[in-house]
Structure 1
Amino acid sequence: MTTTVLEGLSASARGVVHRGAKSCDCAGATVLADRHDGTVVRHGDIVAKAHAPDADRSELAVRTAVAAHPALAGILLPPLAIPGAELHGRAVSFWPHGTPVDPEAPDEAPWEQAATLLARLHRTPTAQLPGPVPQMRGPVKAALAVARMRKAGPHPAAAPVEGAWSTLPAWARAEAPMPHATTLCHGDLHLGQLVRHPTPGGAWLLIDVDDLGLGAPAWDLARPAAWYAAGLLDPDAWTRFLGAYRAAGGPAVPADGDPWPALDTAAQALTVQTAALAIAKSRAESRELDDVELAVVHACDRIAALPPQLAPGAPK
């Protein structure tokens, strides 16, 4: 991200915090994220986000309006009632700042709360929402990750990732419409997408609506499922997450019994996505894959080696 964009975004956040004020004695803006798909800065209790350059403006407007709708109160962090802006051709939105999950306290990770929020999101009636609600972008992000890996150039770990990718059905590769795409989904669920509401003792809320839309709810459970399958998520955490989702009436999996027939395809797609991004980043940083990244690549190797009758989308 160029300094010009960061400075402009910081000035936008400052302008919202100090509307009408001629001077500001508080600390400057803090960069919370600076990636190719979005830049986020905080100034005081305001967060300003510059969305991806290629973000569809009309779809983003609907997604933001959905987050502000009363039906999503207590589920999604609502945007501030401030007209959207533009910065160097990128849409900018404004949000209240919330306290994120502490990455240094994994035992305190709010897996149950995340699962309950997902179940409530998935049970939201969509007919009353602003629309038309776009499609959830999960499969698109997986396809973009694979494209990014390929653009980065040859890598010895790419073969199992490509092999696993080739086993996925067309909809999971964003090459065909997602089946049964009638549920409101987050599209990019991980613990970094939760913050505590900016009030003392506030509840956890979901953030980041860039991939929000109608889709198959299993996709929102896919990342923790993939981590568990790859040995990266403690079995107790996975059990608590899945149990809380079921207890809250989440529709992505049966209320009891084996959840994996419903989760396999999405979890394998997220495994490929994670491995592809790891390879692309390692090449960009001229470094070897670390142990966690290698675990995900090895999981892709296992996916690619599945017998055809067990591959995602195969008749059961």
Structure 2
Amino acid sequence: MTADDLLSALAAGARRAAHPAADCTCATADAALADRDDATVVRHGDTVAKAHAPDTDPAALSRRLRVAARLPGVLLPPRRPAPTELLGRQVTLWPYGSPVDPDTPQAAPWEAAATLLARLHRAPVPAGLPPMRGPAKAARAIARLRAAGPHPGAGPVLRAWDGLPGWARSHAPMPGATTLCHGDLHLGQLVRHPAPDGPWVLIDVDDLGVGAPVWDLARPAAWYACGLLPPDEWLRFLTAYRRAGGPAVPAQGDPWPALDTAARALTVQTAALAVAKSAAARRPLDEVQQAVVDACDRMPG
């Protein structure tokens, strides 16, 4: 199977879902929204078809889809309650939502992201839901870094990794892992539905599961600590999360005792992937990538 085969098959599936009663005769062109090793996403009209990573567990994905269906207004509900198999990949169907505009960072919906996250964290945890996959990605990123070969940025990242607590360097659950969590929060995980001007909802259930809610705050916290997220945007996010009753940090006072370890682990994960990609492509780190490596270098052992 080639990448083009998968894209063509996904597009056909999206067309059938968009026009279940008849063959497609509309003038809408298919659009590839993502084409990566871990996800291929194609849109046709108001329908999106997603092929998940090759190692996706269909039973776990089905449980995650059921959570999304039960939390409309927080998570984008799927068009179908279970995945199907296509060319050896698990495929899900979704309504299309308008993503965050990367060209207008001043309009980034930090308050909406934080409020949705708090609502997710307060939702009941269904029986049988798998663990959140977010923390395990840090260990996989380090393994990828070690396999990438020598690179001048590897040393600070590995030293920072060795300085993390044992649970953060393994696949063990985080302390306090009893909450419904997204697992991979960033602004690319928000869309407006219905498009183009509906309310914001969270997308991407691949990492959804039971975990410690602080992990979902780790990426914006890490960006802020690395100087990549302006203080006013971080404050908007944190304030909105607290106002919505989010349980990951105390309602008042310094949030960093709760955030510190998760933010460090996410920084190390980001830096490890950046260095691994840099080594594979034989190119230097860009400014943002260098910033997260420098942040690792500043972490105490």
Normalised-by-shorter TM-score class: over 0.9
Name the residue aligned to 2:106: 107
Is 1:291 the counterpart of 2:287 in the alignment? yes
The whole-number CA distance in structure 1 between the counterparts of 2:81 and 2:222 is 38
Distance across 1 between alignment mates of 2:82 and 2:287: 45
Q: Alignment partner for residue 228 of structure 1, among 224, 236, 244? A: 224
Please tell me the residue identity of whatever aligns with 2:239.
G
Tell me by how many angstroms 1:14 deviates: 1.3
- Correspondence for 2:63: 62
Gap runs ≥5 in structure 2: none
2:119 alignment counterpart? 120
| Structure 2: distance between partners of 1:144 and 1:14 | 35
Structure-1 separation of matches of 2:230 and 2:86: 42
1:183 corresponds to: 179
In the TM superposition, residue 89 of structure 1 has moved relative to its aligned partner by: 1.3
Question: What's the counterpart of residue 272 of structure 2?
Answer: 276
Q: Secondary structure at the match of 1:95?
A: strand
Task: Output one character per residue of 1:96-124: Cα deviation in whole Å (capped at 9) or x when no partner.
Answer: 00000000000000001100111111011
One-letter amino acid of the structure 2 residue matched with residue 296 of structure 1? V
**Mapped pair 1:267 → 2:263:** yes
Task: Name which of structure 1's ranges 218-227 and 144-153 shifts more when overlaid on structure 2.
Answer: 144-153
Q: How do 1:174-213 residues align onto structure 2 when only pairs under 5 Å count?
A: 174-199=170-195, 201-213=197-209
Q: Does 1:145 align with 2:141?
A: yes
How far 1:232 sits from its partner (Å)? 0.4
Flag the 1:83–1:56 CA change in 2: closer, same or farther, 3 A: closer
The residue aligned with 1:49 is 50
Give the counterpart letter for 2:124 in structure 1: P
Deviations 1:155-214 (A, max 9, x none): 110111111111112222233232221100000000000000115631100000000001
Q: Does residue 90 of structure 2 align to residue 91 of structure 1? A: yes
Q: 2:235 aligns with which of 223, 230, 239?
A: 239
SS in 1 for 2:235: helix
Q: Which moved more, 1:294-303 or 1:28-37?
A: 28-37
Contact 1:139 1:171 in 2 (8 A): no
In the alignment, is the contact (CA less than 8 A) between 2:150 and 2:279 conserved in 1? no
3-state SS, counterpart of residue 40 of structure 2: strand
Distance 1:123 1:22 in 2: 43
Contact 2:62/2:81, CA 8 A, preserved across alignment: no
Contact 2:121–2:247 under 8 Å retained in 1 = yes
Give, as a single letter, the amino acid of the residue that structure 2 aligns with 1:259. Answer: P
Paired residues of 1:161 and 1:272 also in contact (CA < 8 A): yes
Q: What does the per-residue CA deviation read over 1:127-150, in whole Å, with 9 as the maximum and x for residues that have no partner?
A: xx3x30110011111111122222
Whole-Å Cα distance in 2 between the matches of residues 44 and 200 of structure 1?
13
Cα distance change of structure 1 residues 200 and 277 upon mapping to structure 2, 3 Å threshold: closer
* 94-103 vs 34-43, greater mean Cα deviation: 34-43
Assess if the C-alpha contact under 8 Å between 2:138 and 2:265 holds in 1.
yes
Find the aligned partners of 2:195 and 2:35 in 1 and give their Cα distance.
26
Q: TM-score, normalised on structure 1?
A: 0.91
Q: Post-superposition shift, 1:23?
A: 4.2
Tell me the alpha carbon deviations over residues 60-90 of structure 1, each in whole angstroms, 9 at most, x when there is no partner. Answer: 1100111001xx2210000013653211211
Across the aligned residues of Structure 1 and Structure 2, the Cα RMSD in angstroms comes to: 1.4
The answer on whether the counterparts of 1:82 and 1:94 sit within 8 Å (CA) in structure 2 is no
- TM-score, scaled relative to structure 2: 0.96
Amino acid at match of 1:113: A
Q: Percent same amino acid at aligned positions?
A: 66
Amino acid at match of 1:273: Q
- Which amino acid is the alignment partner of residue 235 of structure 1? P
